[in-house]
Each structure stands twice: as C-alpha cells, then as structure tokens.
Amino acid sequence: MELKKESNAVAIDMLLIVHSEKRRAAQGTHSDPQAEPDARLQRGGGLPGVGNGIRKWQKLEGNDLHGNLAEKQHPQQPQVITSYDNQGTQLTVEVHPRDAMPQFLKKFSLAKRLQSDKNGNTRPPQPGNKDAFAYPWDRSSLKSMPLDLHQFEKLDTYASQVTVKSGLDELVSDLLQEAHSDLERVRAIWIWICHHIEYDIEAAQEKDRQAFKPTDILRTQKANCDGYAGLFERMCRIAGVQCMTVPGYSKGFGYQTGQSFSGEFDHAWNAVYLEGRWHLLDSTWGSGLVDKVTSKFTFLYNEFYFLTHPALFIEDHFPDNKNWQLLKPPQSLRQFENSMYHKSEFYNKGMLSAHPDVSMIRTVNGKATITIESCAPTLFMFMLNGKQEHGLLSLQKNGMKLEIYPPTMGTHKLQIFAKGNSDIYSSVLEYTLKCNFVDLGVRLPAELHQPVGPSWFSEQMGIIKPSHPDPVIHTRDGRCSISFGVEEGTSVLASLHGDDGPITEETQRRYIFQLHREKRTELKVQLPHAGKFALKIFVKKRQEPGNYIFVFNYLLCCTNTKVSWPMFPESFGNWGQDNELLEPLSGVLPANRNVPFKLKLHGVAKALVKGQDTWPLTLSHEGYWEGSCSTAGCQEVYVMVLENANHNFYSYILKYRVNTQ
C-alpha cells in the first residue's frame, strides 16, 4: 500500500509476505533448486579418457547469479520488519525509497530469471511427449534438429577467439555479438567452452573437492564435468536461453563392456530448449580427451556431442530422470547396460549400424562374424588382442565384413577401426569374444593383412574387373592364375607369404610370374607346398615418386600334401611388362637335358639362351621367340636380348637354376 501526506512527505511502499510457520521452516532447510541447479548431483566420473567427480555447486558468497561481485555498499539500506502471530503466521514489512526495487521483489525477480527466457516467458515444463524422439535411431541425422554446420563457420571462428575480460556477464555479452538467434547463442557458448575450458584431472580425482564456481572456472579455465555443465547452464541463462543440467551415468573412462551401474551418478551434461523442444549436449566430451597413459588433457573438439540425436545420446548417457532421455519409448537402465556401445567416432566416421548389436559375442565353431554398414565407402582395420591377426576383413561398397578365428579358447578383445574421410584410423567399436572351441584347420598366415579380396578400394587404386572377386581362392594342384584390368600408368607388384618355409623375403616373389596382355595383368602362382598363403597386391603410379602401396591380398588355400612346385625363373629389370613366358615356367631346370624355350618379347632385335654354350632363339611367324638349350655342364641358364641391332650389348632378362645331379 502507499501512504501520502503533503508534497514534502516521504512515500512508503509495503510488501507483505504471509505464509505458515510450517512452510517457513521447510524453506529454511532446502536450497533453491533453480539457484543451485547442480545441488542434486552426486560424485563420479565423466570424461572419456579420465574419471571425474560431480561436485555440488557452492552458494555464491558475495557473488550474484552471473559471478560478478555484488555491491558491498548500498546508498540506502531498506528496513525490514518481521513479526509472527500466535498461529505461526509471518508478516514482513519492508520500507525503502520510492525509486528503489524492494529487496523481496529482487528475490522474486531472480527466481523468475532462472525460470524464464529473455522475453520473460515462463520456462517450459519438464520434457513431454512432444519432446520425445523415436527409438531406435531412424538414421535421419546425427542431430536432433536440422543443422547446416557450414552456417556456423563464421560464428565458430569468432566465438573460439573471444577472451575473458572480467566477469561472466561481459563474456556472454561479447559472445553474443555475432549470435542472432537462440540456436546461435547456444552455439557460441558451446564453442567457447569447448575451446577454452580444460578438463581438471587432479580435481576429478579428489572425492571431497568443493564445487567449481563460475568465477573460479573463468580464472583457471579448468573444470570437471559438473563444472562444464554448470557453467554452460549459467551462461545460457544469462543469454536468455532455457537450459538444464542433467546428472546421470555415462560410458566414459573406465567403462567395461557389459558392466552394471549403481550408486552415485558419475557425469553431468545439459539440455537446452530451442524452437519449442528440448535438445541434449555434452560440452565436457565435446572439448577433448585425456590420454590414459600420460593422464594429460588434450583439446580435441568433438562435434558429435552438440545437439546429439537422443537415440544416439542414450548409448553413453543415462539420465537420472527417464524424461530427459527424450525418447519414445524410454530405455531402462538394464537396456542401457546391455546395449552395444558405439563410440562417437562410429557415427563421426559415417557408420550406420553394426551386427551383432551386442557387445559380448560367442564364437560358433570357432568363428565370429561382424558386419558394419556405413553411409559411404570407407577403409577398416581390426585388432584382436592388440594384433592384426586371425581375421578376414573384406570391404564392401557401404561397409565391411569381418570373420574372426580366435587362436585360443577363452576371452578375447576385438577392436574395429575406421578411416572415414580423414587420414587417421579411429576406434569405432569394441567387442568381447568368448571362444570355447578352436578350429585348428583355420590357421591364417600372419602376413595376411587387411583387407582381403578386391573391392571399391582396389578399383579406386587402378585394379578393375578381377577374375576372382572373392577373397579366398582354393586350388587342388597348388597352381592358380589370377588376372585383372590395370589402368594406364599403373604398375602392379605381387608377393607370396606363408608361415612355413621355403618362402623367404628373397624368394616371396619367385613363386609368382607376372604377365601383361592388352591392359590386363595375369599372375601365375605356384605354391611350394600345401597350406594357406597370402598373395599381396601392391600398386604404384609410374609418374609418381615413392614406393608401392599395399592394396589388398588374396587368401590361397591348398590341402593337397603332394604339391611341391618350384619357383619361377628370376626376372630382371629389362623384362618388359608386355613380355610373355610360355616355357619353361619352372625356375629350376633338370640337369643334362635339352630344354625348349618359347617367349613373346617386344622391341628386341635378337634373343638367345646362354648356359655352358650359347643357343640363339628365332622369331616364329606367330611372334614367339623359340629354341632350345642343353643344361649339361652348367649351374645357371640365362635368357638374353639385344634391343638395338646396331649395338652388341645383350641384357639379361631371365635367370634359371639347374638342378644338381
């Protein structure tokens, strides 16, 4: 009410607050859940790569909501009179200058700011059906709302370069200079936090550490997960954007496949209200990671955790309140524990799904099969117990197929890596394999690298239309012939690898004889014995410097124990790509025999065979150089050519070894 006397009289505004003693007592024992948004959080761990604690936010002592120092002196302090009647009813009267806001109204205004946006609208209620997204993921987008990340390029650059000058108010004001919508305001705050706040490893390991205050975070530019989430919420409130801190469980540092969750929550993240709907983000995990070995934090921005689609966010974030899953239907804690954990890189690299979709796999007859579907062709690799062995990985147009054969019974760790659009392989999946049977007949060569079989990648590298599209080739007599088209200007190199002798580094190419016919390359292969072999294919652009690049390999299998093929003859640099050897194909010739020779040689004037003596080869009407030589009295036989009729210098092109008697 207002009392007026004469013109020189004072004006008195009176604010009366009346409530019961019971309610007054209750208020005296509970903190304001909005003023202290994280007071309900418990300690735990949250950053991928390190454990951290969720701390209760301390009350601001001498600080206002925005972390700025409150004025310690007031020109005119209001007078507050409080009395109670015998029924416990409280009557409070405040007397203050006419042009000043009542202190009690300031308190109500503060609460309203925490519950309303910049336009004074009341904060939306807890998430409901309109906020829920369908589960499982519909593959429509990694984000919970349509985003063109290119539209943020200018804003991201600007926000990442803003520096702290004084308090939180000025920082937010500076960030919003280039932000013109709630979405852009959230984006600017997100980018600044992810690029400036370092994860405090030491604080995360202190169980009883007090909460991070915004002023301390700005000063040290360090926080743990609740510090990230609390700071993000407060900055959003200053910017006039509705934001909540959400506590819960996470599959972060220390997570073991299939583990159960109970007790204190170990992480905190945020929900923001944009365009009439709640959305999820995690600035802790968006900022970087901690090396498990060195325990050092590295800023490594991760876009995945900005407005993540809830059906993907639930894979590693389980909130304390199921409504904050933003899913229809919501998932149970048991489902969260048992669900397959796809790392953020799984989706960042363009993966869509994996099968099996459970993290624990049992082998069947000693084998486990994993398939991955991707939205575009990509390269994969795997490691079983830390080694790239005991598996067949074949690339598919949109994904891959992996067959794993654990070498021993028991539990094994399988990691799958993908390359995506970058030059670096990243871990995208981890499985635990349970093996209760080992098929000893499926031992794979240690040199069998990934991938096996031709694919889109080999085609991209210049190898097209292979005669054998499947990665495994079975041969009964220990011989096979493989051909494929080769793009012009591309050179091909092949080598054979097995775990048992007699193949050595010097002879691994001698069991392959390479021929070229009309833009196709043929590889004639002779196996030295029964078993499994890796036939590795390399390519190189002739005009480009550097070494040959591995493209793929075949797995060659032969069960015939009578197989025992010798090496092919050794070829030298002057052996032309278009030359063809018909006979003899064996690199070891019998002693004291007349051996016929037949070759197709291009661009030569003369050809001869040299052993103990010299035997010329003649050019037939069919275009073959033919003749014979005796192996008597010699240990080696050479094929030599004269390329220019005006010269007398012959070049070695082939070398044979003569068997001893």
Q: Which residues are catalytic?
A: 225, 267, 282
Is the CB of residue 536 less than 8 Å from the CB of residue 503?
A: no
Q: Helix, strand, or coil here: 422?
A: coil
Is the CB of residue 533 less than 8 Å from the CB of residue 445?
A: yes
Q: Helix, strand, or coil here: 15?
A: coil
Structure-token pair, residue 67: 């972390």
Beta bridge partners of 552: 537
Diameter over CA atoms, the chain: 141
Task: Give CA–CA dist 150/541, Å, rounded.
Answer: 35
Q: Which phi-psi region, left, alpha or beta, contains residue 378 (left: φ > 0; alpha: ψ -120 to 50)?
A: beta
Which phi and psi angles does 557 have, rounded to 5°?
A: -125, 135
Is the CB of residue 242 less than 8 Å from the CB of residue 278?
A: no
Task: Give CA–CA dist 318/252, Å, rounded.
Answer: 12
Task: Give CA–CA dist 338/453, Å, rounded.
Answer: 34
Q: What's the residue count for the chain?
A: 661
Q: Helix, strand, or coil here: 335?
A: helix
Task: Give CA–CA dist 254/267, Å, rounded.
Answer: 13
Number of Cα atoms under 13 Å in the Cβ half of residue 321: 15
Q: Which among 61, 361, 339 has a CA at the least distance from the CA of 216?
A: 61
**Contact partners, residue 203, CB within 8 Å, separation at least 6:** 52, 53, 209, 212, 222, 223, 224
Buried b (16+ CB within 10 A) or exposed e, 88-106: eebebebebeeeeebebee
Task: Give CA–CA dist 313/326, Å, rounded.
Answer: 10
- Specify the DSSP class assigned to residue 530: S
Beta bridge partners of 380: 418
Neighbours of 151 (CB within 10 A): 12
Task: Give CA–CA dist 525/510, Å, rounded.
Answer: 9
Helices 168-175 + 225-239 axis angle, to 10: 70
Structure-token pair, residue 535: 């036939």
Is the CB of residue 307 less than 8 Å from the CB of residue 147?
A: yes
Q: Helix, strand, or coil here: 593?
A: coil
Neighbours of 213 (CB within 10 A): 20
Q: Which among 152, 144, 306, 172 has a CA at the least distance from the CA of 241?
A: 172
Written as one string, the DSSP assignment of 543-578 is TS-S--EEEEEEEEEE--TT----PPPEE-TTS-TT
